[in-house]
């Protein structure tokens, strides 16, 4: 259970940081750990710099290659500002995740050029064919952040994805690269990396948080581009959505609600009335 | 002198890691520190994970904004493989650096769409106008890795650039964001971050390096995309160029050679004969 293991590990990493200034661990043979940013934010809420990463099943194709050799390998990084403000980056190192390809397939749309390549290693347009090629491991897959080839610097996203593989799997002696995949008898056996770093070893945490708040305020105060409404910083959209959910409830699709309801009934748990 | 200060700092960080497992420092009010990867590789050559970052003069425009609020803010990360092999990532978090815009201006080329925005915050094509707008701080500038808006995930490069600003300047109490710039009386007063992390605290360094070598071999053995020659990993091109220079000499433009010669003569130093 990646979720339970990861929460426990981040708690230990934070405890170690409290005692020694910094806490770091990596984990092998785990399972899907949920939201990377959740663990990084645990540290940020205790006046620490929080980092969380995981490797994932190989879906990403290196620059100039035609087959997958790394996952969407997310990086999460969080630091606190004043009064609950937080800079919280949580990003896949591929341009998009498989979810976006699936949405394009459902909506019958052509893929954007920087998202994926087909079995020939060139930009893929058809999401249905791509998903099939990926499923049957015929080649092709997601592009690293920066897209195809070198013109938009796709090798940088590729480099970041490999960095995540190194910090998670190579430090822990786990499975890496193209070998990370689900099989009929095992999950992908993914590896994680967690770090917490005490801010007070650098400077007064109050002053640090004041500067973070000033930085974030400066970013959102920037004049938007022609046609754009606002300038965000990492985590702001999610934080605003969280606040909306706290008052208005969590929006669920009919399908998700049905699954939750059936699961609850199967376990003889009370099902709350949905707000419609 | 950012170069001298940074070498000294990385040496101390490595010494601290030797004693305590991990060494970390950040520096404010510095100056251009040269090649970020140089410092990360210092740690990698001592069986450590090396990290180096710096913020730089604000040239990068946040997603949906129209003025610069962060620098090209490079991230360097290096780990050793066997027999001198090394994974060495050294990347600006903007899609390209100003140098590429200058080259396009000299060659009379139109800019690629993911590289920069003009004073309206929309994609810029004319490199001469862009450089002038940037010089006179009229707005516009370089795009973060991932390009304009959200379709290619430019907010991820933007997030990484801010992360570098936080680790370098916010931890050290230095200058950050749009305020990082050269003036008539000061340099940009940039800030750095260095980290070294001992591999033997995770696992046997010999086994780690063996796995790194295997990973890098697997990456270069991937079948290239249609029309591509080879698959690289971060640092490989530079390592091959270094080897070529060691035997064939370092190629210099006439202009650089002239400057070096004049500097040497001005200091009454002997000038070696160039290989032509």
* B151 → chain A, closest CA residue: A112
* Amino acid B88: pLDDT: 98
CA atoms of A93 and B129, how far apart (whole Å): 32
Q: Of A101, A123, A90, nearest to B156 (Cα)?
A: A90
Q: Of B146, B8, B121, nearest to A222 (Cα)?
A: B121
Query: Residue A98: is its pLDDT beyond 80?
Result: yes
Residues of B with Cβ-Cβ distance to A62 under 8 angstroms: 219, 222, 231, 233
- For residue B246, CA distances in Å to B122, B243, B253, B258 come to 44, 5, 17, 21
**Global confidence as pTM:** 0.96
DSSP H or E stretch at residue A193: strand A192-198
- From B120's Cα to the closest Cα of chain A, the distance in A is 6
User: Sorting pLDDT into bands at 50, 70 and 90, what band is B42?
Assistant: very high
What angle do helix axes A36-44 and A2-20 make, rounded to 10 degrees?
30
Judged by CB atoms closer than 8 Å, whether chains meet at B222 and A153 is answered as: no
Considering CB atoms only, which of A62, A95, A212 is closest to B170?
Answer: A212
Q: Does A257 reach chain B within 8 Å, measured CB to CB?
A: no
Judged by CB atoms closer than 8 Å, whether chains meet at A225 and B117 is answered as: yes
Contact A116, A141 (CB under 8 A): yes
What CATH number does domain B96-142 carry, 3.40.1160.10, 3.30.60.50, 3.40.50.920, 2.70.98.60?
Answer: 3.30.60.50
Q: What is the mean pLDDT of residues B199-217?
A: 98
Judged by CB atoms closer than 8 Å, whether chains meet at A170 and B226 is answered as: no
* Amino acid A115: pLDDT: 97
Judged by CB atoms closer than 8 Å, whether chains meet at B170 and A65 is answered as: no
What CATH number does domain B1-94+146-251 carry, 3.40.630.10, 3.30.1370.60, 3.40.50.300, 3.30.1540.20?
Answer: 3.30.1370.60
C-beta atoms surrounding B29 within 10 Å: 16
Contact B91, A156 (CB under 8 A): yes
For the record, the structure tokens of B86 come out as 């090394």
Contact B97, B141 (CB under 8 A): no
User: Sorting pLDDT into bands at 50, 70 and 90, what band is A51?
Assistant: very high
User: Sorting pLDDT into bands at 50, 70 and 90, what band is A274?
Assistant: confident
| A-interface mutation test, from B115, B153, B195, B200, most A Cβ less than 10 A away | B153
User: Sorting pLDDT into bands at 50, 70 and 90, what band is B200?
Assistant: very high
For the record, the structure tokens of A100 come out as 């976006």
Q: What is the pLDDT of residues B30-41, one digit of tens each?
A: 999 999 999 999
- From A43's Cα to the closest Cα of chain B, the distance in A is 15
Q: Of A82, A18, A81, A7, nearest to A40 (Cα)?
A: A7
The CA R_g of chain B, rounded to the nearest whole Å, is 20
Judged by CB atoms closer than 8 Å, whether chains meet at B67 and A26 is answered as: no
The domain spans of chain A are 1-93+153-220, 96-142
Considering CB atoms only, which of A153, A173, A229 is closest to B96?
Answer: A153
Torsion over CA: B40, A43, B153, A232 (sign): negative
Average pLDDT, chain A: 96
* Amino acid A184: pLDDT: 76
Considering CB atoms only, which of B89, B165, B173 is closest to A159?
Answer: B89
* Amino acid A183: pLDDT: 78
Q: Is B253 exposed, middle or buried (CB count within 10 Å of its CB: 0-12, 13-18, 19+)?
A: exposed
- For residue B96, CA distances in Å to A40, A188, B92, B159 come to 29, 35, 7, 16
Considering CB atoms only, which of B22, B69, B230 is closest to A218?
Answer: B69
Q: Does A255 reach chain B within 8 Å, measured CB to CB?
A: no
Query: Residue B10: is its pLDDT beyond 90?
Result: yes
Residues of B with Cβ-Cβ distance to A95 under 8 angstroms: 146, 152-153
Q: Does A177 reach chain B within 8 Å, measured CB to CB?
A: yes
Contact B50, B236 (CB under 8 A): no
* Pairs across A and B, CB distance < 8 A: 228
Considering CB atoms only, which of A64, A114, A203 is closest to B173?
Answer: A203
Contact B220, B231 (CB under 8 A): yes
Query: Residue A101: is its pLDDT beyond 80?
Result: yes
Q: What is the mean pLDDT of residues A134-163?
A: 96
What would the CATH number be for the domain defined by A1-93+153-220? 3.30.1370.60
- For residue A170, CA distances in Å to A10, B85, B207, B214 come to 19, 15, 9, 11
Query: Residue A125: is its pLDDT beyond 90?
Result: yes
Query: Residue B257: is its pLDDT beyond 80?
Result: yes
Q: Greatest CA separation found in chain B?
A: 57
Q: Which residues contact A173 (CB under 8 A, 6 or more apart)?
A: A28, B203, B207, B211
Q: What is the pLDDT of residues A67-89, one digit of tens each?
A: 999 999 999 999 999 999 999 99
* Amino acid B236: pLDDT: 98
* Amino acid B183: pLDDT: 78
Q: What is the mean pLDDT of residues A203-227?
A: 98
C-beta atoms surrounding A47 within 10 Å: 16
Q: What is the DSSP string of A86-114?
A: EEEEEE-SBSS-HHHHHHHHHTTPPPPTT
Contact A224, B64 (CB under 8 A): yes
Q: What is the mean pLDDT of residues A111-128?
A: 96
Q: Which residues contact B274 (CB under 8 A, 6 or more apart)?
A: B252, B257
* Amino acid B173: pLDDT: 98
Judged by CB atoms closer than 8 Å, whether chains meet at A211 and B96 is answered as: no
For the record, the structure tokens of B276 come out as 């032509």
Q: What is the mean pLDDT of residues A39-52?
A: 98
Judged by CB atoms closer than 8 Å, whether chains meet at A152 and B117 is answered as: no
CA atoms of B261 and A274, how far apart (whole Å): 79
Residues of B with Cβ-Cβ distance to A22 under 8 angstroms: 22, 24
Q: What is the pLDDT of residues B142-189, one digit of tens each?
A: 999 999 999 999 999 999 999 999 999 999 999 999 999 987 777 789
CA atoms of A162 and A156, how far apart (whole Å): 10
Q: What is the mean pLDDT of residues A224-252?
A: 95
Q: Does B87 reach chain A within 8 Å, measured CB to CB?
A: yes
* Amino acid B273: pLDDT: 84
Query: Residue A16: is its pLDDT beyond 90?
Result: yes
Judged by CB atoms closer than 8 Å, whether chains meet at A231 and B177 is answered as: no
What angle do helix axes A205-220 and B154-165 make, rounded to 10 degrees?
150
Q: What is the pLDDT of residues B83-130, one digit of tens each?
A: 999 999 999 999 999 999 999 999 999 999 999 999 999 999 999 999
| A-interface mutation test, from B65, B81, B86, B122, most A Cβ less than 10 A away | B65
Whose tokens are 């194709």? That residue is A61
Q: What is the mean pLDDT of residues B10-26?
A: 98
* Amino acid A188: pLDDT: 85
* Amino acid B100: pLDDT: 95
User: Sorting pLDDT into bands at 50, 70 and 90, what band is B64?
Assistant: very high
Per-residue b or e along A85-109, where b marks 16 or more CB atoms closer than 10 Å to that residue's CB: bbbbbbbbbbbbbbebbeebbeeee
Q: What is the pLDDT of residues B247-256, one digit of tens each?
A: 999 999 899 9
- Identify the DSSP state of A41: H
């Amino acid at each position: 259970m990646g979720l339970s293991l990861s929460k426990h590990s981040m708690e230990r990493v934070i405890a170690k940081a409290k005692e020694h200034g910094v806490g770091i661990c990596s984990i092998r043979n785990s399972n899907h750990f949920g939201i990377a940013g959740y663990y990084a934010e645990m540290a940020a809420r205790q006046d620490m710099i929080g980092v969380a990463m995981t490797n994932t099943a190989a879906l990403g194709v290196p620059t100039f290659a035609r087959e997958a050799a790394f996952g969407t390998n997310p990086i999460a990084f969080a630091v606190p500002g004043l009064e609950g403000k937080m800079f919280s980056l949580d990003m896949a190192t591929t341009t998009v995740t498989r979810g976006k390809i699936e949405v394009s397939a459902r909506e019958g749309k052509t893929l954007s050029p920087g998202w994926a390549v087909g079995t020939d290693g060139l930009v893929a347009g058809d999401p249905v064919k791509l998903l099939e090629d990926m499923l049957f491991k015929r080649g092709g897959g997601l592009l690293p952040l920066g897209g195809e080839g070198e013109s938009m610097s796709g090798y940088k996203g590729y480099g970041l994805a490999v960095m995540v593989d190194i910090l998670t799997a190579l430090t822990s002696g786990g499975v890496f690269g193209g070998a990370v995949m689900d099989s009929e008898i095992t999950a992908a056996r993914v590896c994680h990396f967690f770090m917490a770093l005490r801010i007070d070893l650098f400077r007064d945490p109050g002053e640090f948080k004041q500067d973070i708040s000033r930085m974030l305020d400066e970013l959102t105060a920037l004049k938007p581009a022609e046609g754009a409404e606002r300038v965000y910083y990492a985590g702001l959209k999610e934080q605003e959505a969280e606040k909306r959910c706290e008052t208005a409830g969590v929006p669920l699709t009919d399908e998700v609600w049905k699954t939750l309801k059936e699961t609850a009934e199967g376990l003889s748990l009370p099902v709350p009335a949905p707000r419609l």
